[in-house]
Amino acid sequence: MYLSLTIVMDNYACSQLAVIAIIFNETKKTYQWILECLLCATNGLMPKQHGANVKTVFLSMNLKDD
């Protein structure tokens, strides 16, 4: 099991813990599910990008497809 933490920056440039998930595998499908749950919980509010490109970060993680 893995502990997955998602930390976001608020509009005051302070970090906030947004998501805590205990996952059994580190696959693209798992992280896609976590992000979909985050979008559902925020009524579809998409996070804005600051600093690192989110796509680049996820692509660099070399996650398995399943």
Instruction: Residue 10: name the closest of 50, 64, 41 by CA.
Output: 50
pLDDT in the model for residue 63: 63
How many C-beta neighbours within 10 Å does residue 38 have?
Answer: 17
Mapping DSSP onto H, E and C, the string for 30-58 reads: HHHHHHHHHHHHCCCCCCCCCCCCHHHHH
> Is the pTM of the predicted complex or chain greater than 0.75?
no
Per-residue pLDDT of the chain (66 residues; tens, 9 = 90+): 889 888 888 778 888 888 899 999 888 888 888 888 888 888 888 766 655 565 666 666 666 666
